[in-house]
Amino acid sequence: MTISFAHSPTVTDAVARTRDYVRDVALPTETAFRGNAHELTDMQRKELQERAREYGVFAPHISTAFGGLGFDMRDRAPVFEAAGYSLFGPLGMNCAAPDEGNTHLLEQVASEEQKQRFLRPLAAGEIRSCFAMTEPAPGAGSDPTALATRAERTSAGWLINGRKWFITGANGASFAIVMARTAGEPGSRGGATMFLVDTATPGFTLVRDIDTLDESMFGGHCELVLDNLEVGHDAVLGAVDQGFDYAQVRLGPARMTHCMRWLGTARRAADYAADRAATRKAFGGRLGDLGMVQQLIADNEIDIETSRAITLKACWNIDAGVSSAQITSIAKTFVAEAVNRVVDRSFQICGALGVSGDAPLARLYREVRPFRIYDGPSETHRWAIARRVLREVERRGR
């Protein structure tokens, strides 16, 4: 199958409408709240989403059966990038983490009854969700097999006990997808199960909102305690003991949609710096006439275009059903670091203005830095990439 970088008129039209929505709605709202989604109310979130419906860009990733635009991974890329130009763009279009990844997982794995109960209102923006896998040390983090939260089978269903932290969007979420160990011990590669849990269930306790560098994630990053949390047999998502496999269904595409959204942030930072370089007078001419500044601008464009290309390649693999673990790890590592470089260079070009609150760069700088940690630190991905290469060498040798 030939890889094409061209998009259909439907997609290019959606990109144009997304840019209009971001310019008219998302950016002014972001400016008013200085990028701090913690200050937004749920009513204001829904107002942002209602405006996205008016622009025809609500839920581009969700199938048409559940009210979305039905775009595949490759077609999402330019739309999500356009949305990510504002920190509030993805939230307004209902394609922000973690809900975006959860809708993908539910469409792939949930039963029809679960889709109607959880996916349909989530896709409509009526409720929010979270994905509860990460745990405080020594539990699951970069190594998901360290999963320590346990679910024990009972006559009525399951009893879940454990502690989760850094659970994005948990504050105000209506339900959580909880990863718990149903077989084996921490370190075992199998034995995890996913559960759909109503957050109002007794035993589900939000302990705190963790104070973090970034502020644009609606619902924050939270610590949870699951204390004798009882759920029925119908709470199991998919099959028992298959949770790690289902996690890959979610994590690969979610890493790529993170790349798409943060590429929009990088584009915004680069645009702001280029405008500044074109107008700021220094040393007898424009700032942009200086060779050192031109190199920074050029390197920004190189990083952005290269990131787009590798993201599209990974998306093509996912859409085609081709093994994508290696390419998504490579793409996530490269794009996370490239986005950080772009924002940092833009910051440097703008000097004191970049440091100040008069420009958006300090805000963007704060938001993109954690991307090198979230969804797997660069070091963990590099380790996994190298292991796959070495395994292939060994296989060929045999």
Considering only CA atoms, which of 72, 52, 68 is closest in space to residue 60? 68
**What are the tokens at 273?**
């710096």
pLDDT of residue 5: 79
Omega cis (within 30) before 186: no
**What are the tokens at 347?**
């910051």
Considering only CA atoms, which of 264, 275, 297 is closest in space to residue 364? 264
> What tens digit of pLDDT does each residue of 136-169 get?
999 999 999 999 999 999 999 999 999 999 999 9
pLDDT of residue 2: 66
pLDDT of residue 3: 63
> What tens digit of pLDDT does each residue of 324-363 get?
999 999 999 999 999 999 999 999 999 999 999 999 999 9
Question: How do beta strands 175-181 and 192-198 pair?
Answer: antiparallel
The secondary structure of 52-120 as a DSSP string is: HHHHT-S-TTS-GGGTS----HHHHHHHHHHHTTSTTHHHHTT--TTHHHHHHHHHHH--HHHIIIIIH
What pTM value is reported for the model? 0.96
In CATH terms, 251-397 corresponds, of 1.20.140.10, 1.10.357.10, 1.25.40.20, 3.40.50.300, to: 1.20.140.10
Q: Which residue has the tokens 């990460």?
A: 134
Integer Cα distance of 254 and 257 in angstroms = 5
The secondary structure of residue 138, as a DSSP letter, is T
The amino acid that residue 352 corresponds to is A
Question: Taking the chain, what is the end-to-end CA distance rounded to the nearest angstrom?
Answer: 30
Structural contact between residues 380 and 142, judged by C-beta atoms closer than 8 angstroms:
yes
The domain locations on the chain are: 9-96, 129-241, 251-397
Helix, strand, or coil (residue 157): strand
The secondary structure of 200-245 as a DSSP string is: TSTTEEEEEEPP-S---STT-EEEEEEEEEEEEGGGEESSTTBHHH
Q: Which residues contact 175 (CB under 8 A, 6 or more apart)?
A: 118, 127, 129, 130, 196, 197, 198, 199
Q: Which residues pair with 206 in a beta bridge?
A: 224
Considering only CA atoms, which of 237, 25, 218, 250 is closest in space to residue 128? 218
> What tens digit of pLDDT does each residue of 84-122 get?
999 999 999 999 999 999 999 999 999 999 999 999 999
Integer Cα distance of 225 and 379 in angstroms = 29
pLDDT of residue 1: 53
Q: Which residues contact 24 (CB under 8 A, 6 or more apart)?
A: 55
Residue 389: left if φ>0, alpha if ψ -120 to 50, beta else—which one? alpha
In CATH terms, 9-96 corresponds, of 1.20.120.420, 3.40.462.40, 1.10.540.10, 2.40.160.20, to: 1.10.540.10
Q: Cα dist. 183→137, 229, 244 in Å? A: 20, 18, 12
The secondary structure of residue 197, as a DSSP letter, is E
Considering only CA atoms, which of 104, 80, 103 is closest in space to residue 90? 80
Q: Which CATH superfamily is domain 129-241 in?
A: Butyryl-CoA Dehydrogenase, subunit A, domain 2 (2.40.110.10)
Integer Cα distance of 195 and 176 in angstroms = 8
Helices and strands per DSSP (H, E), number in the chain: 14, 10
Structural contact between residues 227 and 203, judged by C-beta atoms closer than 8 angstroms:
yes
Q: Which residues of the chain have pLDDT under 50?
A: none
